[in-house]
Amino acid sequence: MEESGQIRLNKATREWVIYAPSRRKRPQDFQQRSQEKPTLVNRVASCPFCEDGQHQSELILLELLDPDGKGWQTRTIVNKFPALTPDNSTQRSEAGIYMAMASYGQHEVVIESPDHHQTIATMPLAQVEILIETYHQRYMTLMEDPNNMMAIIFRNHGRGGGASLRHPHSQIIATGFVPRNRRIQEEEAQRYFDQWGRCVYCDILEFERHERKRAIEENDSFFAFVPFAAEVPFEIWILPKQHKADFGCISPREKSDFASILKNMLLKLYEKLNDPDYNWAIYTAARYKAEEPQVHWFCQIRPRLTTPAGFEMGSGISINPSLPEIDADFLKR
């Protein structure tokens, strides 16, 4: 493995990433040794997501029961402090030389377990499968609304990841517009397809599965790896092997395989890096793009192990002190 610095180009986004191995610590030095350990109790009286904290029935959007049918396993509720609300208009308006619109959208919280101390990494696989089913059902419901241009499923873990509560939960936000970041990614994928006649993510998938330098794990339906131009240490992408633009098209078998590989990737971070703060999100097609051949849905996991500083803010370029090949080798060993 070369020790000299590199600047790598992300094939999917055409964003450059600077690699500075001279700043690199040993992979195990990224462990968050000061991370507060969770108190292993099933219920916390002050937690609004614990089963004892009863939710108003009108706020509950979906409940899925545990395999024994004795209680709820996941519960989706309206966010009490929403970033966006559905009772607004999607109409744009001018404000002098500027443009604005009302804060239209839908903001939901998925409570992933009745148990306060659980996390996806430590849940039984059957529980994670129920969670993926919850995501899919809510995603399909939200995208039935023609005002919703995109539904974003994401999870914030730990204080550094923006989580305000320890109880295991994730969120879904549907927007009446397509965020610029997602539109740029779609446009880059379109340019690649127009030039080569192929999906850029399928090409990345084929190359990474063949080269194996950054591969971590795969099953029948998904492949997990550290991307060639990872922006942060231990960044992970999980790509479906079959080309699909829309998360809504996931099959029952793929749901089970996605649950398995997502749990395994988070368990590796949990065990090898001492449960670091992280964010993950599902990148899926915007409305009207769900059938197009250049868009490929995937899941991205970004641990919060470094802090962006002035250069990153001023240039938009990430500096990663850890090489993807070393990170992948550490995670899969």
Residue corresponding to tokens 């998360």:
247
Residue 1: beta bridge partners? Answer: none
Q: Which residues contact 264 (CB under 8 A, 6 or more apart)?
A: 217, 224
47 known member of a binding site: yes
The SS3 of residue 154 is strand
Q: Which token pair is 138?
A: 């809510």
Q: Which of 107, 157, 169, 296 is catalytic?
A: 169
CB 236 within 8 Å of CB 216: yes
Torsion on CA atoms 295, 299, 303, 306, rounded to nearest 10: 0
Dihedral pair phi/psi, residue 310, rounded to 5°: -60, -40
Assess whether 169 carries a catalytic annotation.
yes
CB 111 within 8 Å of CB 76: yes
Burial (0-12, 13-18, 19+ Cβ within 10 Å), 69: exposed
User: What is the bridge-based pairing of β-strands 298-303 and 236-240?
Assistant: antiparallel
CB 245 within 8 Å of CB 295: yes
Q: Which token pair is 117?
A: 């101390």
116 known member of a binding site: yes
Q: Which residues contact 41 (CB under 8 A, 6 or more apart)?
A: 116, 117
Amino acid at 173: I
Dihedral pair phi/psi, residue 3, rounded to 5°: -100, -10
136 known member of a binding site: no
CB 156 within 8 Å of CB 146: no
50 known member of a binding site: yes
Catalytic residue numbers, as ranges: 169
Residue numbering of the annotated binding site for Zn(2+): 47, 50, 116, 167
Please enumerate, by residue number, every residue annotated as part of a binding site. 47, 50, 116, 167
